[in-house]
Structure 1
């Protein structure tokens, strides 16, 4: 599932635990990051209080009790978010199987790397994007064109269960779930353990609509219109994937692992591959294009949407080939794809829609047939 290294958890468990494999070690690092969230938030709150104490008394009086009340409100929502993250971790790791429960037993609390902590915070925002009504505008912008194109290509709903769709980089599984709900047989693929653990909870542990609440914006202090905007809740899931529709003929699954390795080993070609906000995760985007071509049966369709924010650009000890869009499409055609649709779509991504700062992407949408 993952080849991440392990640091700081080598306690003496030889007498009470079986040997710990690399996947469990990698999972423990992610568990540690999730469970450090409360300490992370407490440190930010203490810093806020320290900053207030250091300004002149007359300025403190101008801030008034409202500022301290806001800090109290932030702390309460921090505690709630932490309780949700604990629930997600315990459920998600448990779904991986008994072997992975070792990650909880061997866990030794410590400060995660900034990168790992950033992934915890982005996971909270990703829940809002994929599984709440607050994220609907973003999903409508880039997911809906994919769904509409597939409906156009396969209008007979009674036969969609025979159409096999592969969705790499499926994140928290919402697009894959929506395609399954439309009648297609779908396999999602994700590498990030943060996403995998959380999607396990979302896809299996949620039993009713808007059952849970998170507060994703409590630390969005810059570009904020009001304290209330920072404290507002997001409820999820806006659609409940509770598994009650057992009469479906179509299949739905999520597989963990690296896209390149999975595509190299996959014995059965797909009829459709959907890449949403994904192809810029490549170390070598030419390899991605080649594997997508090989992974489709003759006449198969590749639907893509997203920007080209190359994830490994300028990262030390990571290879990365960054091509402009025109070159990407030249290579797509060189492999023999026929482009049947191509356009630009404006979309945001995990944006706080009540912030003064609104970042927007112009995404490339295309449909290519092998």
Structure 2
């Protein structure tokens, strides 16, 4: 007996889910729109899953992995809390401690609940069964810890770190009275929603279309169709924008860059594990929820497969990791990035240096500076300094419909961009994000 499924193009992602059916057919016939093209998968194919479909690393992935492991070696530089291996071990400790930290917080909230009066508790329990939230969240913390454990196992393998080393590091930091970072883990897990879930589409759609249209316009107007443009995205987070760009035509050679070890070890998990997982990202905060089910809900990820071959992640600080990449990139895209700088001038210097003459800098994001930056420039000051460095801002390179002019005649446009991870929350964070396309001369 045949089961027939129509597919518009041969889609391995869809095929893997078909092959994962609990009761697969003895034979499967996949018919594209043209009847003369028929793919028949015999029963032996059902041994395939997304998790064991291997890809041979590209040459640049192999080269970068070798360089990364060298940078992570304890013998490279001075060993302190800023050493990349130390930061990596701290991130691994943070994910390993997710459950412990969140259960401790849950116990704190239980203790606070005891201060409610007997009559108040009786009402809360009889109407909404308030105590059941503690039980539900406790169970979901365990599920999230299972995911965190899988992320850690994958990272130990990828970075060639023995678990005994992580345990020694953990004991040393605990003895020194240094708790594992809870906030960075929580924020990194929430980025899975923003970058790799269907629920994050509303935030992505505020910025990605304009960036992509600008990039496509640059490729169409200034480069030959057979030329593969080099695109760098510093501060790429979990890398969704880079993967969107890698799917465009003409093709781009995409390099993501991210400093945060917390983000990077999640990304390595995404690279290595093709099956869909679920995170409960909102159980660690009790504020701004419309309903309890919204707070407890699971978010599936990724909503689309990663294009691993065409995107390279380079880990490390943007201003130092690319110190040898002078004049290499055709385009640098800074998405919610430049205001993260401790020294904005170092960011601008690096963007200018890594770009080819005639290359482009596309920016989209706010100017929300951190707690101790060396310099804090207004939008107008950023433009003046960038122009003095050799950038020109062109209205003609900004796609139609991408915001309103922020400064008259300057080629910079502002548009509202939300940033908050949870589309169902009772609060919204929005920025007047600044969008420009500047050419380096």
TM-score bracket, normalised by the shorter chain, equals 0.7 to 0.9
Segments of 5+ residues of structure 2 without an aligned counterpart are: 1-70, 399-411
Instruction: Select the residue among 384, 395, 416 that pairs with 1:346.
Output: 416
Work out whether residues 6 and 29 of structure 1, in 8 Å CA contact, stay in contact via their aligned partners in 2: no
1:320 matches 2:371: no
Instruction: Select the residue among 344, 349, 369 that pairs with 1:310.
Output: 369
Counterparts in 2 of 1:92 and 1:367: CA distance versus 1, 3 Å: same
Instruction: Give 1:37 shift.
Output: 1.2
Deviations 1:287-337 (A, max 9, x none): 2212211211111010011111123x33xxxx5211111100111111121
* Partner of residue 273, structure 2: 206
1:270 matches 2:340: no
Structure 1 CA distance for aligned equivalents of residues 98 and 362 of structure 2: 36
* Partner of residue 12, structure 1: none
Runs (4 or more) in structure 1 with deviation over 6 Å come to 2-5
Structure 2 CA distance for aligned equivalents of residues 135 and 83 of structure 1: 23
Counterparts in 2 of 1:55 and 1:298: CA distance versus 1, 3 Å: same
1:29 matches 2:90: yes
Instruction: Give 1:51 shift.
Output: 2.0
Work out whether residues 132 and 236 of structure 1, in 8 Å CA contact, stay in contact via their aligned partners in 2: yes
Alignment of 1:77-156 (within 5 A): 77-96=140-159, 98-99=160-161, 103-108=165-170, 110=174, 113=179, 116-155=181-220
* Partner of residue 367, structure 1: 437
* Partner of residue 239, structure 1: 304
Deviations 1:230-270 (A, max 9, x none): 11111000111164xx7xxxx43111111111232224521
Instruction: Select the residue among 229, 241, 245 that pairs with 1:175.
Output: 241
Segments of 5+ residues of structure 1 without an aligned counterpart are: 8-20
Work out whether residues 327 and 357 of structure 2, in 8 Å CA contact, stay in contact via their aligned partners in 1: no
Q: Which segment drifts farther, 127-136 or 101-110?
A: 101-110
Instruction: Give 1:155 shift.
Output: 3.6
1:76 matches 2:134: no
Instruction: Give 1:46 shift.
Output: 1.1
Work out whether residues 349 and 360 of structure 1, in 8 Å CA contact, stay in contact via their aligned partners in 2: yes
Structure 2 CA distance for aligned equivalents of residues 79 and 32 of structure 1: 16
Structure 2 CA distance for aligned equivalents of residues 331 and 178 of structure 1: 31
Work out whether residues 416 and 431 of structure 2, in 8 Å CA contact, stay in contact via their aligned partners in 1: yes
Work out whether residues 24 and 99 of structure 1, in 8 Å CA contact, stay in contact via their aligned partners in 2: no
Work out whether residues 351 and 359 of structure 1, in 8 Å CA contact, stay in contact via their aligned partners in 2: no
1:184 matches 2:252: yes
Counterparts in 2 of 1:179 and 1:300: CA distance versus 1, 3 Å: same
Alignment of 1:243-262 (within 5 A): 243=308, 251-262=310-321
Which protein, 1 or 2, shows the higher relative CO under an 8 Å CA cutoff with sep ≥ 6? 1
Work out whether residues 231 and 255 of structure 2, in 8 Å CA contact, stay in contact via their aligned partners in 1: yes
Structure 1 CA distance for aligned equivalents of residues 346 and 80 of structure 2: 29
Counterparts in 2 of 1:86 and 1:236: CA distance versus 1, 3 Å: same
Work out whether residues 332 and 355 of structure 2, in 8 Å CA contact, stay in contact via their aligned partners in 1: yes
Structure 1 CA distance for aligned equivalents of residues 164 and 225 of structure 2: 43
* Partner of residue 227, structure 1: 292
Structure 2 CA distance for aligned equivalents of residues 4 and 306 of structure 1: 34
Cα RMSD after superposing both structures:
2.5
SS in 2 for 1:364: strand
SS in 1 for 2:132: helix
Instruction: Give 1:222 shift.
Output: 1.6
Structure 2 CA distance for aligned equivalents of residues 219 and 266 of structure 1: 41
Instruction: Give 1:220 shift.
Output: 2.6
Instruction: Select the residue among 336, 354, 359 that pairs with 2:390.
Output: 336
SS in 2 for 1:239: coil
1:300 matches 2:343: no
SS in 1 for 2:413: strand
Structure 1 CA distance for aligned equivalents of residues 358 and 162 of structure 2: 40
Residues matched between the structures, number:
341
1:40 matches 2:91: no
Instruction: Give 1:24 shift.
Output: 3.2
Structure 2 CA distance for aligned equivalents of residues 93 and 165 of structure 1: 29
Structure 1 CA distance for aligned equivalents of residues 185 and 224 of structure 2: 40
SS in 2 for 1:343: strand
SS in 1 for 2:278: strand
